[in-house]
């Protein structure tokens, strides 16, 4: 089959130049004009005649290649293609060449030079095979380019589908935790439950608005993190404290959306919360990433983490930024470095 979106090689200029050159040069080199004598008009007529022959041979091979290319591929039917190419030259080029050379001798009124006829026919067939070789080489290069492009498109589609699947995991997980907290507050503190619902709606709106984006400004993500901590404080009071660095400058930096929220939620999930000894969560820039750290205070009944949230975040970062997260787990501190992307200038 022809490459997608391509009919054939764009060779109009090559044909317009090469066909007249071949038609004029070949009969002079093969001796067809040796018996013409001092008749310039006859030479001009002969050149026009053999330019026509060159055009018919070229266009005939070109048409045949388009036809058999639709039916047979080099990789699937190599021998059939070779047989077709040989048949075109034996059954089309050779008879056409012999016929037009014979007609030329009759019109010119000169005796037939059989040796010149043989040499000219052989040269024309060889030139035709060379032209076919060039076309097929260009076609195979085009086909390889199209195959590589198709593979790249398939890989891009696969990565985008996997990334979308990873993003889609955020919504139900976040909503489940939010509803669980709301169920805890409603029977105990209805007024705080109402406030929690309003803030939950605001926070969830951010997730919905950014679910199609791969990167968001770090400033937006930090503002979202502050709103999310406000949501946590309604549920846990002063047991959670966010401590962003004083020199935190997010200007021009981008981060995968909801990445900070994943780490904040992870810190709350895996540590005991006590207002007398608050869980302290720090955020600071480090190199080409943003570091989120928290004090560690494992609850007595803590279960082994499945690390699904961190695994999801790591995979998203790898697909979006080309770099994964870096986890630093100590006895007293747990930190995760999220890769950042600098916004292109201008």
User: What is residue 186's predicted lDDT score, i.e. its pLDDT?
Assistant: 85
The SS3 call for residue 199 is helix
**C-alpha–C-alpha distance, residues 194 and 183, integer Å:** 11
pLDDT computed for residue 310 by the predictor = 86
Nearest to 337 by CA among 309, 317, 322, 320: 317
Q: Is the pTM of this model over 0.85?
A: no
Q: How open is the CA angle 229-233-234, to the nearest 5 degrees?
A: 120
Q: What is the pLDDT of residue 168?
A: 53
Q: Which residues pair with 338 in a beta bridge?
A: 290
pLDDT score of 169: 54
DSSP state of 238: G
pLDDT at position 273, please?
87
Q: Which residues contact 245 (CB under 8 A, 6 or more apart)?
A: 282, 283, 284, 285
Q: What is the pLDDT of residue 15?
A: 84
- pLDDT of 315 reads 86
The whole-number pLDDT of residue 29 equals 84
- Please spell the DSSP secondary structure of 126-142, one letter per residue: HHHHHHHHHHHHHHHHH
From the list 171, 231, 226, 172, the residue with the least C-alpha distance to 199 is 231
Sheet holding 240-244, edge to edge: 240-244, 279-286, 289-295, 333-339, 326-329
Domains of the chain: 12-156 (no CATH), 169-342 (3.30.565.10)
Residue 244: its H or E element:
strand 240-244
pLDDT along the chain (346 residues), means of 10: 47 85 86 72 84 87 66 60 73 86 83 86 86 79 78 62 52 68 82 84 81 88 90 86 87 90 88 88 94 86 64 86 92 94 80
């Amino acid at each position: 089959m022809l490459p997608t979106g391509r009919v054939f090689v764009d060779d109009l200029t090559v044909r317009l130049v090469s066909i007249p050159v071949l038609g004029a040069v070949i009969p002079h080199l093969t001796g067809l004009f040796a018996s013409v004598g001092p008749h310039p008009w006859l030479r001009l007529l002969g050149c026009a005649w053999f330019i026509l022959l060159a055009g018919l041979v070229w266009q005939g091979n070109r048409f045949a290649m388009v036809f058999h290319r639709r039916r047979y591929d080099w990789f699937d039917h190599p021998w059939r293609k070779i047989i077709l190419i040989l048949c075109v030259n034996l059954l089309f080029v050779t008879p056409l060449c012999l016929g037009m050379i014979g007609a030329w001798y009759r019109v010119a009124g000169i005796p037939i030079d059989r040796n010149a006829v043989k040499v000219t026919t052989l040269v024309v067939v060889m030139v035709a095979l060379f032209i076919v070789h060039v076309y097929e080489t260009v076609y195979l290069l085009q086909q390889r380019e199209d195959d590589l492009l198709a593979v790249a498109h398939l890989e891009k589609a696969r990565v985008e589908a996997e990334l979308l699947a990873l993003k889609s995991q955020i919504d139900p997980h976040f909503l489940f935790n939010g509803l669980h907290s709301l169920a805890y507050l409603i029977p105990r503190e209805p007024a705080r439950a109402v406030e929690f619902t309003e803030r939950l709606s605001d926070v969830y709106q951010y997730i919905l608005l950014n679910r199609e984006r791969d990167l968001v400004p770090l400033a937006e993500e930090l503002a979202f993190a502050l709103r999310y901590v406000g949501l946590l404080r309604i549920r846990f009071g002063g047991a959670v404290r966010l401590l962003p660095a004083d020199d935190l400058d997010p200007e021009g930096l981008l981060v995968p959306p909801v990445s900070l929220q994943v780490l904040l939620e992870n810190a709350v999930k895996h540590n005991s919360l006590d207002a007398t000894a608050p869980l302290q969560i720090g955020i600071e820039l480090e190199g080409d990433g943003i570091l989120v750290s928290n004090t560690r205070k494992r609850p007595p009944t803590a279960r082994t983490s499945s690390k699904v949230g961190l695994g999801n975040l790591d995979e998203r970062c790898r697909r979006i930024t080309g770099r994964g997260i870096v986890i630093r787990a100590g006895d007293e501190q747990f930190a995760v470095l999220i890769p950042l992307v600098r916004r292109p200038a201008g």
